[in-house]
Amino acid sequence: METLKVEKPEKVQWEYDEDADVLYISFGKPKQALTMDLGSGVLARYDKDSNKMVGFTITGLKAILGSLTSI
């Protein structure tokens, strides 16, 4: 797999689904993308044609944030 391209986004949008405990972060307007599991509930989303990062999905956000407060 080629290296993913990460550029400073012009606009970052986010949406939190409290029922599912999932945070969606999009760089620019949300669009279809391929997903790469980075582990620990973090999913990187990227455009298959340009290999540019288009966002992240974070599952189990409450548990992740809870573990940070115990540091």
Residue-wise pLDDT for 6-57, tens only, equals 778 889 999 999 999 999 999 988 889 999 999 999 999 999 998 999 999 9
- Domain of 50 in residue numbering reads as 12-69
Has residue 4 been placed in a domain?
no
**What is the structure's pLDDT at 60?**
94
Has residue 2 been placed in a domain?
no
pTM of the entire structure? Answer: 0.80
Has residue 1 been placed in a domain?
no
Domain count, the chain: 1
CB 25, CB 14: distance < 8 Å: yes
Has residue 3 been placed in a domain?
no
CA-wise closest residue to 53 among 6, 1, 2: 6
Has residue 5 been placed in a domain?
no
Report the side by side order of strands in the sheet with 53-59.
Answer: 12-17, 22-27, 53-59, 42-46, 34-39
Has residue 17 been placed in a domain?
yes
Percentage helix, strand, coil, to 5, in the chain?
15, 45, 40
Has residue 30 been placed in a domain?
yes
Rg (the chain; Cα; Å): 13
